Structure 1
Amino acid sequence: MTTDRHGHTMSATGPEALLHYEQALDDLLFFRPRVVESSRSVLAAAPHSAMGQTLAAYLGVLGTEEKDAAAARDSFGRFRSGLDTERLSPRERMHLAAATAWLDGDLHGAGRILGDLTVAFPRDALALFVGHQHDFLTGDAERLRDRVGGALDAWDADDPHHGPLLGMYAFGLEESGHYERAEESGLAALAQHPDDVWGIHGVVHSYEMRGRFTDGIRFLDARTDDWASGTLLTVHNWWHYALYTLETGDTTRVLRIYDDALHHDGSAGAAMELLDAAALLWRLYLAQEQHGERWARLADAWERREDGPYYAFNDAHAVMAYVGADRIARAQRLVQDREHWVATRPPVSNHAMTADIGLPVCRALIAYGQHDYGLATDLLLPLRHRLHLFGGSHAQRDAIQRTLVEASLRAGRTDLARNLLSERIQLRPVCPYNWSAKARLEEQLGRSERAAAARERAAAQAMAS
């Protein structure tokens, strides 16, 4: 019977299909666009391969694309129809169960099965990768760290997949607050594979959370050939570059990055890329910068997708685009559609993510766009410690946290704004945005000397970056 490189049984998978499967797994771990083609090659050589079919199913859900997930659900359902699962290995049956749960909308059930898989088969790189991405999409920082950390002891350092695991671990460490350890793990991953874009991503996040903007820009500049084009993470890593640049105050360069890399006529329109574009423009919107043409093109791209209620985190970024483009009615229609769905459809994981977090966030963004800053504050304040429940990273969700800060300032709720800014400054003392917002608060309070000191600190930090 065929086994993969780590000794796992591959039912109905011959030698040719196995070669394609191993290539597809490598492509997946390193975020190469050809992973889709590699996956198709597995099934062309072995249509009844359980792991080949499962890999294809996972690819259908990892991009948070509703249409891809629907197509994967249909295809996987046909494969499972009449399948004698008793002929499969226990590991393969667990993968089938995890993929089925995810395709049926039970993200959290899929995550639990993938966790059990990793305990039983810690050298299953596919289970680790998919589980890691699941934890990112559901905002589960501790599992993002411990799912990989719990398996690493079973891996030899010279295994070709050990490096990507360290890159995953770096991101989990960062999201759970272990920034120095995250940097260390990410750099160790890159020592094994310099083109590990997820490892690069983990290091970049660790710099972001510590306000090390200069280090981040230098780090990315030194590795441009490894990340800046041709990967499934290219746009997202350019987004990180733009965040660093934004803190330096170089808005011209930020917009050049946006136009060249984040959203332009040749952009694919993938949800994960559009949300990066929306999150960057929204930060500029909060700074009262107007970019009407960019917002209009981005809102058009979101409208063309015609997304249903599939992933609440995407919905919030679509609403950012509609509000930024002054298409309030369109944003309100999205909210109404999701409200109807929550009220009438059986619950799946995205049901709670939408009802509890997504809808209040969307309503707050609309209120902000309508200059009802008090309502925006009231909607966001109860969510600020629960935002992770609808997915994303700390860096991504900071666009919403900043919206709360800005809404409280504009609503004249100075006690709240003082509290929020104190929290932010204690966590990230090196952050020009935090100090510039602090300066505006002090101006509202009539404390000109403190305002001037905060402005000087923001400017000094930006200059140092």
Structure 2
Amino acid sequence: MILVTTDQHGLAMSGASGAAARHYDRAIDALLHFRVEVDAEANAALEESPDFPMGNVLAAYLGLLTTEVEDARTARVRLGAFRRRIDESSLLPRERAHLAAVQALLDGDFLTCGALLGEIAVAHPRDALALAAGHQIDFFTGDARSLRDRIGGALSAWREDDPHFGHLLGMYAFGLEEAGHYDRSEEVGLRAVELNARDVWGIHAVVHTYEMQGRFGDGLRYLDARLPDWSTGTFFNIHTWWHYCLYALEAGDVGRVLAIYDSALADGQSCMELLDAAALLWRLHLEGSEQPELDERWRALADAWPVRVAEPFYAFNDMHAVMSYVGAGRMGDAEKLIASREAYVLEPRPGVTNRDMTLRVGLPVCRAIVAFGRGDYASVVDLLYPIRHRVNEFGGSHAQRDAVQKTLLEAALRAGARDVARVLVSERIGVRPCSPYNWLKQAAVADALGDRAAAAAARVRADELVRAF
């Protein structure tokens, strides 16, 4: 007789003892809170019931969603052993559906995994794991509409008094922001955090909304007011400090940015933490911050990447590794990584999402970063301008991908591509007229066009915005 229990959201699970089910519920709670305890709770569930299907599925997702090659390899081995031990025909339909979804992810097919998780959420809208894992897949593939609608489509099945309703709102707020619904995103995100002050993903959604609207002062004040809620106890702390630094950069406070980098970002261990560090230093690099003290930061960061990009897994990580190599002056390492990815995309890999990401976006971006490091700014423009409207295809958020757009803009200015630079700055000011950075670039364009009055006016506007912070 198959043992059937229910999880905290009322969904049936087979093969779990009472203790295993409790550990699973705590793991899901930790996952939604981005707490480090998620791994320990997931492992404890499997220690209690080694053949617990949803426990094994959860462990596999956790190993894959880090975008760490070694974690993925371990997850692949563990899930394979589980599947060989069991009779899958005896599993509940939802469990079989999860196995198919996570196997697609193990096989490198992000898109099929996301679609299968979507089907699960339609049939089981209270499946928090399907929603959370699907939300991350949408993030990794840069699918803004699905980031919004995957969660939005499930919300009506949840009640205001559900303990995790606020977490659903936090995810929904992020999807709304990425899809451009900024007023609604702020409203939903603030409500999520009102329901759970330590919902770091909800806080993160509000922070993104302020970033996209150019409300940098509001962002700093919001993060300062909630510092105890987001700065400790989760594996998302560093990323939120990265957002804090983006606001400080807009204010021109490089000293503050470097102080935060050294105290919070410099010792990152995961790919997610390393890419935040690289993205921050790269923004300083674009603005000419070449002070000697940056050199050691770049060297330490470049030293951390080789083992993590030794084989292809996620093109978005590759870009940040190349940034680190170029920043450290290790052009040979950057070229070596690009060459390995050029060989990778030559092999047919049906259904492997990262291959297409690498071919269509990853390689052009990595080549452009190397060209920028070599001072070949015209080549940067040639590489990035044709793909600037589809860089979302290799994942990340609008805020993260803005490093690519800023690289293109800076290269256009330095290459003397005045018409391209004018278009890019005009687009940016139209969307975020409150950004000091955008007005400073408007001044640079005006200088290039010989319009001193317009340049002076743009600089005055940038200064006004900084003082208004």
**TM-score normalised over the length of structure 1:** 0.98
Secondary structure of residue in 2 paired with 1:81? helix
**1:50 equivalent in structure 2:** 53
**2:449 equivalent in structure 1:** 445
**1:134 equivalent in structure 2:** 137
Equivalent-residue separation in structure 1 for 2:453 and 2:7 (angstroms): 67
Determine if the alignment matches structure 1 residue 30 to structure 2 residue 33: yes
**1:107 equivalent in structure 2:** 110
**1:388 equivalent in structure 2:** 392
Secondary structure of residue in 1 paired with 2:6? coil
Equivalent-residue separation in structure 2 for 1:394 and 1:132 (angstroms): 16
Equivalent-residue separation in structure 2 for 1:37 and 1:442 (angstroms): 56
Q: Deviations over 1:44-90 (max 9, x none)?
A: 00000000000000000111111100110011001011421121111
Shift in CA distance, 306/423, structure 1 to aligned 2, threshold 3 Å: closer
Alignment of 1:196-207 (within 5 A): 196-207=199-210
Letter aligned with residue 142 of structure 1: R
Determine if the alignment matches structure 1 residue 331 to structure 2 residue 334: yes
Report the Cα offset of residue 446 of structure 1: 1.1
Secondary structure of residue in 2 paired with 1:177? coil
**2:81 equivalent in structure 1:** 78
**2:438 equivalent in structure 1:** 434
Identity level (%): 57
Equivalent-residue separation in structure 1 for 2:186 and 2:134 (angstroms): 21
Equivalent-residue separation in structure 1 for 2:174 and 2:52 (angstroms): 32
Equivalent-residue separation in structure 1 for 2:166 and 2:450 (angstroms): 54
Equivalent-residue separation in structure 2 for 1:184 and 1:408 (angstroms): 37
Give the root-mean-square deviation of aligned CA atoms.
0.9
Equivalent-residue separation in structure 1 for 2:460 and 2:233 (angstroms): 40
**1:282 equivalent in structure 2:** 282
Structure 1, gaps ≥5 residues long: none
Checking the alignment, whether the CA contact within 8 Å between 2:142 and 2:392 is kept in structure 1 is yes
Equivalent-residue separation in structure 1 for 2:387 and 2:370 (angstroms): 16
Report the Cα offset of residue 304 of structure 1: 4.3
Alignment of 1:374-413 (within 5 A): 374-413=378-417
Report the Cα offset of residue 345 of structure 1: 4.9
Equivalent-residue separation in structure 1 for 2:453 and 2:415 (angstroms): 23
Secondary structure of residue in 1 paired with 2:322? helix
Alignment of 1:229-244 (within 5 A): 229-244=232-247
**1:457 equivalent in structure 2:** 461
Report the Cα offset of residue 229 of structure 1: 1.7
Report the Cα offset of residue 346 of structure 1: 2.1
Letter aligned with residue 42 of structure 1: A
Equivalent-residue separation in structure 2 for 1:199 and 1:373 (angstroms): 39
**1:273 equivalent in structure 2:** 273
Letter aligned with residue 408 of structure 1: A
Structure 2, gaps ≥5 residues long: none
**2:149 equivalent in structure 1:** 146
Secondary structure of residue in 2 paired with 1:10? strand
Secondary structure of residue in 1 paired with 2:219? helix
Report the Cα offset of residue 310 of structure 1: 0.3
Equivalent-residue separation in structure 2 for 1:281 and 1:463 (angstroms): 24
Runs of 4+ in 1 over 4 A off after TM superposition: none
**1:195 equivalent in structure 2:** 198
Shift in CA distance, 201/71, structure 1 to aligned 2, threshold 3 Å: same
**TM-score normalised over the length of structure 2:** 0.97
Equivalent-residue separation in structure 2 for 1:422 and 1:375 (angstroms): 22
Determine if the alignment matches structure 1 residue 216 to structure 2 residue 219: yes
Equivalent-residue separation in structure 2 for 1:235 and 1:359 (angstroms): 27
Report the Cα offset of residue 444 of structure 1: 1.2
Equivalent-residue separation in structure 2 for 1:250 and 1:431 (angstroms): 14
Equivalent-residue separation in structure 2 for 1:306 and 1:426 (angstroms): 37
- In the alignment of these two chains, the number of paired residues is 462
Q: Deviations over 1:152-178 (max 9, x none)?
A: 001011000101000000100000001
